[in-house]
Amino acid sequence: MKHQDHVNLIKKGIDTGGIWADLGSGRGAFTLALADCLGIDSHIYSVDTDRRALKVQETRLGAEFPQNEVTFKQGDFTGKLDLPPLDGVIMANSLHFVQDKLTVIKQVRAMLKADGRLIMVEYDTAQGNYAVPYPITFSTWTRIADNAGFTKTELLATRPSRFLGQFFSAVSYR
């Protein structure tokens, strides 16, 4: 996918500004999309376990979005993270690495301010493989979000994937 594809998957679920985190950010494709959508009146915490991937992001964001404020944090989103209360979280292609999704999503919900939101981007499939060990469909995501205490979940967009059928993006409100 290209940058505009990433933006198109998430932009309907985002207002400008605020404090956001990209959990499991990898090399930063969705961190860049988030920076594009939020604008310069925001602060993004990009969290990943891979220090080299965070350095790639830092270089790209510095070149493409130099006015955006981004903190790069090495850490595991399935554990305790030292982050301020967040207006929003994006998890793009990261939850499919987690078997106990409900516990993690409850932790993520607790990071959000009272009116916060969580944007989920995942392959819309129940059939996993070596690269997507614990996949999640949109209907399964809706149930998990509800069980974690989110008040409403909306489908934002879908996009075909050459790898596993299609992606979905959704926003869940605290």
pLDDT tens digits, one per residue of 69-81: 999 999 999 999 9
Averaged over 99-116, what is the pLDDT?
97
* Separation CA 141–CA 111 (nearest Å): 19
Average pLDDT over all residues of the chain: 94
E strand or H helix at 42: strand 42-48
- Report pTM: 0.94
What confidence category does residue 137 fall into, taking pLDDT thresholds of 50, 70 and 90? very high
Q: What is the mean pLDDT of residues 78-85?
A: 95
Which CATH number, 3.40.605.10, 3.90.105.10, 3.40.50.150, 3.90.950.20, labels domain 3-173? 3.40.50.150
* pLDDT band with cut points at 50, 70 and 90 for residue 66: very high
Contact 107, 75 (CB under 8 A): no
Residues 6+ away with beta carbon under 8 Å from 146: 153
And the tokens for 30?
Answer: 């969705």
Q: What is the Cα–Cα distance from 160 to 167, expressed in whole angstroms? A: 6
43: enclosing H helix or E strand: strand 42-48
Predicted pLDDT at 126: 83
Residue 161 has pLDDT above 90, yes or no: no
Is there a contact between 171 and 150 (Cβ–Cβ < 8 Å)? no
- The Cα–Cα gap between 139 and 45 comes to 28
Q: What is the DSSP string of 99-119?
A: S-HHHHHHHHHHHEEEEEEEE
pLDDT at site 2: 93
Answer yes or no: are the C-beta atoms of 85 and 111 closer than 8 Å: yes
Q: Are the beta carbons of 69 and 4 closer than 8 angstroms?
A: no
3-state secondary structure of 138: helix
52-61, 99-108, 120-129: least confidently modelled range:
120-129
In this prediction, residue 130 carries a pLDDT of 84
